[in-house]
Chain A
Amino acid sequence: DIQMTQSPSSLSASVGDRVTITCRAGQSISSYLNWYQHKPGNAPKLLISAGSSLQSGVPSRFSGSGSGTDFTLTISSLQPEDLATYYCQQSYSSRWTFGQGTKVEI
């Protein structure tokens, strides 16, 4: 299975801060990388697919970049409602794998 490693595992930031989360794949996955936001008690929400494609309805402060093995999720101006855990997930392999998550605290 393809291992996905996120960093940091948690972070604390202020409203308005720029936040960056990184995800590294154990092998090249081209752009088959997706990002999710997960709030307690809810289902995960797909934010970005194929490395950088913003899902419909997702605020433009979220962006994704990268290809190959190194990827980044950026929140340009952190908002209170962004309190959540963020996961990367590869769909290069038919056996999906998730990163361990990054908990964002405000």
Chain B
Amino acid sequence: QVQVMQSGAEVKKPGASLRISCKASGYTFADSYIHWVRQAPGQGLEWMGAIYPGDHSTNYAQKLVGRVTLTTDTSTTTVYMELNSLTLEDTAVYFCARESNYGGADYWGQGTPVTVTS
């Protein structure tokens, strides 16, 4: 069965960098995009970017271009999301999710809470 598992909660200082892992299993890893979505406290869902493990191609939200980087290790079926120059506004729960063949994201990780605090 398809599973998506994320790394644990993080606490960071402003200006630091963040790296979250997302391990997917139970399907052909190279064949499906992995997307990243975050939700800040009291806010809605915000799409951050996506990576296609088959060819490592990426797309990023315009507001995060230059700060976010998605990479993939196909040997461990893991995707990494790195966000640098953190600010208080990056405090959020971060989710990774697999894109369905029929549209949308059908399998989600459990979410990784990130707190940015001085």
Listed in ascending order, the chain A residues whose CB lies under 8 Å from chain B are 1, 32, 34, 36, 38, 43-46, 49-50, 53, 55, 85, 87, 89, 91, 94-101
Specify the main secondary structure of chain B where it touches its partner.
strand
Shortest Cβ gap from A102 to chain B (Å): 10
A1 in contact with B50 given A49-B102, A101-B44 (CB within 8 Å): no
Q: How far is the CA of A87 from the CA of B110 in the complex (A)?
A: 18
Contact A34 B103 (CB under 8 A): yes
**Cβ contact within 8 Å between B103 and A44:** no
Q: Does A98 contact B47, Cβ atoms closer than 8 Å? A: yes
Contact A87 B103 (CB under 8 A): no
- CB of A95 within 8 A of CB of B108, answer no
Q: Is the beta-carbon distance between B59 and A95 smaller than 8 angstroms?
A: yes
What is the interface size of chain B, counting residues whose CB is below 8 A from a CB of the partner?
Answer: 24
B105 pairs with A38, CB closer than 8 A: no
Query: Which B-chain residue is minimally distant from A35 (CB atoms)?
Result: B104
Does A95 contact B104, Cβ atoms closer than 8 Å?
Answer: no
Closest Cβ of chain B to A42, distance in Å, is 8
Report yes or no: B47 in contact with A96, Cβ–Cβ below 8 A.
yes
- Asked whether B106 lies within 8 Å of A46 as measured between CB atoms, the reply is yes
Question: How far, in whole Å, are A97 and B61 apart by their CA atoms in the complex?
Answer: 9
Q: In the complex, A99→B35 CA distance in Å? A: 17
Cross-chain contact A87 with B102 (CB below 8 angstroms) = no
